Amino acid sequence: MSLLLSRNITSMLLLAQGSKIWPRLSLLRPRAPPRTLGGEALGTRSRASSGRGSPRGPRLHTRLLVTALFGAGLGGAWLAAKTEKEQRRRQQRTEALRQAAVGQGDFSLLDHRGQPRCKADFRGQWVLMYFGFTHCPDICPDELEKLVQVVQRLEAEPGLPLVQPIFISVDPERDDVAAMARYVQDFHPRLLGLTGSTEQVAQVSRSYRVYYSAGPKDEDQDYIVDHSIAIYLLNPDGLFTDYYGRGRSAEQIADSVKQHMGTFHSILS
């Protein structure tokens, strides 16, 4: 009887204490994990989806492609406009040169071998022509050397026609056939020296609008001839095509001649 009473008392004490301990034990229960989708926390996925990170790959590639195509389009348009402008400038210059009526008519001169020469002798050839005189101290040698450099540059490019270099004297009093022969041999083997009488030189100079005037003679009967400084280009039809002043380099002249060769269409064929 005493054992049963003791067990009942112990059970009542445990129930009394349990009613006080249970709320505290409920605090120790583990919290439920966050809901997931495919093993990933919804909260984390939501934050990652709503964040503003780097753009997705396909979108970035598309933007780069559009930018590249836009830049290529601008570049192509600029190049086309530049080419059209250059062609228009050349056409305007060619038209202006034609209206200038330079190199009209024929001429009759002697070359440095004593052979008569006229304009028709050079038909079918590209010609670079310079007016000067053999006693010129510096300008004429410099310009003839530049002319020779142009001819050599063009000779070095396969497929281009040969250009005939010509030197015409504006000092017929001193530049006879023998003087021209001695002078031209120092420049280029194909350089052709032309001279003639006072009237013949005056005629060809007027035709190409070349100014020249002999200065006063010194005590040694020497003098300087003031004259126009330009290299003339004639096409295979014998027509004046372009001219080049002292400011143009051999490279620039050679490039210009090649452009004229590329656009040339004979009007006599």
**Does 227 count as an annotated binding residue?**
yes
Tokens of 26: 């409920």
For the chain, the average pLDDT equals 80
Domain spans in the chain, listed from the N-terminal domain onward: 65-100, 108-263
Half-sphere exposure of 170 (CA within 13 A, CB side): 24
Task: Name the residue with tokens 């006072």.
Answer: 198
User: Mean pLDDT over residues 154-174, rounded?
Assistant: 96
For residue 240, list its beta bridge partners.
Answer: 234
Q: Is the pLDDT of residue 10 over 60?
A: no
Q: Which range has highest mean pLDDT (31-45, 90-104, 174-188)?
A: 174-188
Q: What is the pLDDT of residues 50-108, one digit of tens each?
A: 445 555 556 777 877 777 777 777 777 777 777 677 667 666 655 655 555 787 878 99
Q: Which residues contact 253 (CB under 8 A, 6 or more apart)?
A: 146, 150, 231, 244
Tokens of 184: 């031209």
**Residue 40 vs residue 200, higher pLDDT:** 200
Q: Is the pLDDT of residue 178 over 80?
A: yes
Q: Per-residue confidence at 31, pLDDT binned at 50, 70, 90?
A: low
pLDDT at 27: 47
User: How far apart are alpha carbons 239 and 248 in whole angstroms?
Assistant: 21
User: How far apart are alpha carbons 265 and 236 in whole angstroms?
Assistant: 10
Task: Please say whether the structural domain 108-263 has been given the CATH code 3.40.30.10.
Answer: yes
Percent residues over pLDDT 70 in the chain: 71
**Does 118 count as an annotated binding residue?**
no
pLDDT at 100: 59
* CA distance between the termini of the chain: 148
Q: Is the pLDDT of residue 38 over 60?
A: no
Q: What is the pLDDT of residues 229-249, one digit of tens each?
A: 999 999 999 999 999 999 999
For residue 166, list its beta bridge partners.
Answer: 129, 192
Statement: the pTM of the whole predicted model exceeds 0.75: no
Q: Is the pLDDT of residue 16 over 70?
A: no
Torsion of the alpha carbons at 107, 111, 116 and 119, rounded to the nearest 10: -30
**Residue 94 vs residue 169, higher pLDDT:** 169
Count CB-CB contacts under 10 A for residue 200: 16
**Residue 47 vs residue 206, higher pLDDT:** 206
Q: Would you say 181 and 113 are in contact if contact means Cβ atoms under 8 Å apart?
A: yes
Q: Is the pLDDT of residue 116 over 90?
A: yes
**Does 136 count as an annotated binding residue?**
yes
pLDDT at 75: 73
Q: Per-residue confidence at 13, pLDDT binned at 50, 70, 90?
A: very low
pLDDT at 98: 57
User: Mean pLDDT over residues 140-164, rounded?
Assistant: 96
pLDDT at 80: 74
